[in-house]
Structure 1
Amino acid sequence: MHPNQITLENFYASFTRLDSDAMAACYAPDAQFDDEAFSLRGHKEVTGMWHMLCDVTKAKGADVWKLSYSGIEADARAGKAHWEADYRFSTTGRMVHNVIDGQFEFNEQGLISRHRDRFDFWAWSRQALGAPGLLLGWTPFLRNKVRAQAAANLQKYLASRPA
């Protein structure tokens, strides 16, 4: 098994346990992360997001948290993984089952330098937001509103953490 595949296995095993410190150790200092809700640059932002999501899940939804992952592959430069998460969306309290495919790039030290997660935003928004997601989840308006709220939540979270 390639060492970068082991990095991804460690990342998802840590995520299953909501161990954001172990997840953070998998990222390079100049890491980049993008998905439907976040576009993050640098270790502080990327790992801050995972710390925030894990902390919120522990506080408001650990009783229903479940993560499964499969299809992890990696070589010296790139990797991929499929993962599915069941959780309570903290803003609405609604249950979500999200299906995500991740793509990764690694630096020479075997740390994640780029991470891109893709999922069906409309499917997610219907579950997480209910009627607004059903009616508007396919629109750029709702996607941009969710992105703006996610960015604001992360900045507030990062400001509350010791440097």
Structure 2
Amino acid sequence: MSHIGLIEHFYKAFSQKDAHAMKECYHPDLRFEDPVFGVLNYQEACAMWEMLIKAGSDLEIFFDNVIAEGEHGSVDWGANYSFSKTGRKVSNKIHASFVFKDGLIVAHTDRFDLYRWARMAFGSLGYTVGWTPFFQNKLRATARKNLDTFMRKEKA
């Protein structure tokens, strides 16, 4: 599969809520990073996608501008969903960059405006304090705790 095909397969699987197919796109040496979960390894990133899919009953995924040249690629993608903690609608726009190895994704970095996301997810609270390091660090700690809990439950 071409690198463009691999990226498209990953996001089509995500839009179909197929965490297993997403996992197959990742190299075992994966390094994932985003503004909420920080740096994750292969097992953590696969569990994160599965957790987000299971939590997102109204999750809609869209993507375009898929580019791949040599061992690097990128895509613009987004997610529309109701944030489970507040029930507020979120429409997050993300730019992802990739590095490929052995025909799989070995590095995946998602970038998005965390303050914009916080305003949508938390409303006035997000608008007021969503930009602060305290709020963003608390958000990251909560996300990590949720992921760790999810991973423990999945192993049991």
TM-score, with structure 1 as normaliser? 0.91
Distance (Å, rounded) in 1 between the aligned partners of 2:23 and 2:32: 12
Match of 1:134?
Answer: 127
Match of 1:84?
Answer: 78
Q: Is the contact made by 2:77 and 2:93 (CA closer than 8 Å) also made in structure 1?
A: yes
Distance (Å, rounded) in 1 between the aligned partners of 2:115 and 2:40: 25
2:67 maps to 1:73:
yes
Q: How much does 1:47 deviate?
A: 0.5
For structure 2, list consecutive stretches of 5 or more residues without a partner in the other structure: none
Q: Is the contact made by 1:30 and 1:41 (CA closer than 8 Å) also made in structure 2?
A: no
Distance (Å, rounded) in 2 between the aligned partners of 1:134 and 1:72: 32
Partner residue of 1:125 out of 114, 118, 141: 118
**For residue 111 of structure 2, what is the amino acid of its counterpart?**
R
Q: How much does 1:8 deviate?
A: 0.2
> In percent, how many aligned pairs have the same letter?
38
Distance (Å, rounded) in 2 between the aligned partners of 1:27 and 1:39: 17
Q: How much does 1:85 deviate?
A: 1.1
Match of 1:160?
Answer: 153
Distance (Å, rounded) in 1 between the aligned partners of 2:103 and 2:117: 31
**For residue 147 of structure 2, what is the amino acid of its counterpart?**
L
TM-score, with structure 2 as normaliser? 0.95
Distance (Å, rounded) in 2 between the aligned partners of 1:9 and 1:137: 32
**For residue 50 of structure 2, what is the amino acid of its counterpart?**
H
Match of 2:137?
Answer: 144
For structure 1, list consecutive stretches of 5 or more residues without a partner in the other structure: none
Distance (Å, rounded) in 1 between the aligned partners of 2:40 and 2:128: 31
Q: How much does 1:75 deviate?
A: 2.7
Match of 2:27?
Answer: 28
Distance (Å, rounded) in 1 between the aligned partners of 2:125 and 2:30: 33
Distance (Å, rounded) in 2 between the aligned partners of 1:51 and 1:66: 15
Distance (Å, rounded) in 2 between the aligned partners of 1:19 and 1:135: 36
Aligned ranges 1:3-82 → 2 under 5 Å: 3-57=2-56, 61-62=57-58, 65-82=59-76
Q: What SS is found at the alignment partner of 1:98?
A: strand
Per-residue deviation, residues 59-114 of structure 1 (Å, max 9, x unmatched): xx33xx2211000011331100001211011111110010110001111x111111
Q: What SS is found at the alignment partner of 1:34?
A: strand
Consecutive aligned runs of 4 or more in structure 1 exceeding 4 Å deviation:
none
